[in-house]
A and B are shown apart, each in its own frame.
Chain A
């Protein structure tokens, strides 16, 4: 028998009993929709968790920390993170990029507004390109000049020096125009405070107020004034340029934040307390992290947290999917029942077909197609239903509000990725065919004789 003829016969048989077919399909619709919607919630929740984590930092970044103050006592040489160590990191397997973080506390000023403490961070290009710039552009990274990339929330640090009103008191952003007007940076804060208090230096002379530097602002990190991301609170610049600038300002004097040797003298090179190592993929994070720890540094990453989270969300998805699967299982029983009914009804017809020479396999396939078709119809409609339910859930104000209550997560709570849609369809068809398999075999084995026995 031709496939098409078989298909037409199956479909006609389904059309013959429209109500019964519709009810059976309804079961599959409910089953498919409950699996898909449940899974979509699981996926939505775990993806949202992921996004939340990503906002705390990249999944493939390892933060390396070296405490410059609590180095081992005694004769042992302190383990410091120097440019040489950074180069070692860079040469490790799977490492895509490295950036030390040179943190310098500075003061910034524009007009009557002052930010008393801003963390200026010198980074390499590897780090800089992780940041998304909202307004303006990236700072120059060729070491020639210090240009600033402002975190999108740094502005909250500025307060009006005369009136002393800060953002925290007024809730109003200071009238500082980062991109338009010049920003002055004071690097030597010690000298600034000493000069303010009329203090004296080591040689007894009055401390002169330190020099203010006019520093160009290249851009601002993407995000609104209240949209936190990990780059929101810092000001970034080119590491090499910052190093050159600091050397020029402090000459032989110790640079604030840099450790000194046992005699209290500064080192001739820069020592970093923090660095970030970028690994090529999540799978290698653990390996690289261990290697760095073995070198005597503290290393941390989101990978452990994430792994734990992954396991948990897999569990959630399985539980949710399992709940949905129960209703599809019930639907499968419905399909089997419908097919059995149909076979009892058509016993005579099946017998006649066998007497007339219809191949046994064809009879079986005809019934398999019928049940598969029930699965397919239920799957398609169930999927459509899932999409609408998903849309409703993502847009219903009550749900959105509840979500905001749950740790302020935003984004869609119900997500149906293409693989889920495809898998649901295939699954529905397979369930239909499996449920219809035994009835189909039963039909195939029906005795042809029953057809000619006159009742």
Chain B
């Protein structure tokens, strides 16, 4: 219980206050987000769950600074990102955020190592150093044999592992993942999720994952259920550090 109290004292890394996103489609308005409030602590693995069209992606994109909210505040590590310019947001993402895509989005012209090293090159890390780091992270996700494979020479699960390594290599404080296992079979999905949870927990990084699958959401410490742009409920559960992968 003392541990629990300590966690509460810690200031949240992400705070979302009264967030709205309204799309205009012709004459009508679509409330993609309709007043959302929550906060996340550092090192938390949070799942945003809800049916398709409930506004999960919209929420994630706004937290990653890819979209502007219509109303409300998003405070990440003490800074209001809804007030930032696009240029500042890019810098913010470069320095704080890792991103895992549903469709992996590896660059087809690069092999696995180069793909993982790409975000480091945006930070101006010299080539030798960044390739070395990329190899280290590829090993971490279990791809030591596929380092030189091009994107189309790997299976979906392998590609997503490259995607995870690419998100982790910059050692971000926050990792966003929009349906990261949407294109994977159930066995691979479990492997990938466990891998993500394990790494993130070890490094005290915050992971926010969007999914429509309640079962997958169960892997997270905290589940935010969204329906029609509103939070239905927030569930917390503690997972023991499970078996080795």
Contacts and interface: CB of A to CB of B under 8 A. Distances in A.
Interface of A: 1-2, 4-5, 12-13, 16, 348-349, 352-360, 362, 448-449, 451-452, 454
Nearest to B183: A454
A449 B87 contact: no
Contacts, number: 68
A448 B86 CA distance: 10
Interface in B87-103: 87, 90-91, 93-95, 97, 99, 101-103
Contact of A355 (B93, B124, B126, B127): B93
B101 A352 contact: yes
Given A356-B166, A359-B91, A360-B87, 8 more contacts: A348-B105, A349-B107, A354-B90, A355-B64, A356-B122, A358-B94, A449-B67, A452-B102
26 contacts: A2-B126, A5-B127, A12-B109, A13-B109, A349-B107, A352-B105, A352-B107, A353-B118, A353-B122, A354-B90, A355-B64, A356-B93, A356-B119, A356-B122, A356-B166, A357-B90, A357-B93, A357-B95, A357-B97, A359-B91, A360-B87, A452-B57, A452-B61, A452-B66, A452-B101, A454-B103
Nearest to A352: B105
Given A355-B64, A355-B93, A452 B109 contact: no
Question: Which of B122, B126, B166, B170 counts the most chain A CB atoms within 10 A?
Answer: B122
A419 B236 CA distance: 74
Main secondary structure of the interface of A (DSSP, over half): helix
Contacts of A452: 57, 61, 66, 101-102, 105, 178
Interface in B40-62: 57, 61
A357 B101 contact: no
Interface in B161-178: 166, 170, 178
A362 B119 CA distance: 13
B121 interface: yes
A360 B102 CA distance: 24
Q: Please provide the 8 A-B residue pairs with the shortest distance between their CB atoms, ordered closest to farther.
A: A357-B94, A357-B93, A358-B122, A356-B119, A352-B105, A5-B121, A449-B66, A448-B66
Contacts of A357: 90-91, 93-95, 97, 119, 122-123, 170
B91 to A, nearest CB: 7
Contacts of A362: 122
B124 A2 contact: yes
A445 to B, nearest CB: 9
Contacts of A1: 121-122, 124
Contacts of B67: 449
B90 A358 contact: yes
B103 A360 contact: no
B99 A356 contact: yes
Contacts of B166: 356
A397 to B, nearest CB: 51
Contacts of A12: 109
Given A5-B121, A355-B99, A356-B118, A449 B90 contact: no
Interface in B129-160: none
A16 B90 contact: no
A2 B101 CA distance: 26
A359 B118 CA distance: 12
Contacts of B123: 357
A454 B107 CA distance: 16
B109 A16 contact: yes
B160 to A, nearest CB: 14
Contacts of B90: 354, 357-360
Contacts of A448: 66
A362 B93 CA distance: 15
B86 to A, nearest CB: 7
B21 to A, nearest CB: 12
A126 to B, nearest CB: 67
A362 B94 CA distance: 13
A360 to B, nearest CB: 6
Nearest to A362: B122
Contacts of B127: 4-5
B88 to A, nearest CB: 11
A203 to B, nearest CB: 109
A60 to B, nearest CB: 59
A366 to B, nearest CB: 11
B105 A451 contact: yes
B66 A355 contact: yes
A348 B119 CA distance: 16
B207 to A, nearest CB: 16
A356 B163 CA distance: 11
Contacts of A4: 127
B236 to A, nearest CB: 28
Interface string B103-121: 1010101000000001101
A355 B99 CA distance: 7
Contacts of B95: 357
A360 B86 contact: yes
A209 to B, nearest CB: 99
Nearest to A355: B99
A454 B178 CA distance: 11
Nearest to A361: B87
B105 to A, nearest CB: 5
Nearest to B94: A357
B102 to A, nearest CB: 6
B109 A2 contact: no
Nearest to B101: A452
Question: Which of A355, A358, A359 counts the most chain B CB atoms within 10 A?
Answer: A355
A451 B126 CA distance: 26
Question: Which of A354, A359, A448 counts the most chain B CB atoms within 10 A?
Answer: A448
Question: Which of A4, A352, A360, A452 counts the most chain B CB atoms within 10 A?
Answer: A452
Contacts of B94: 356-359
Nearest to A2: B124
A4 B125 CA distance: 12
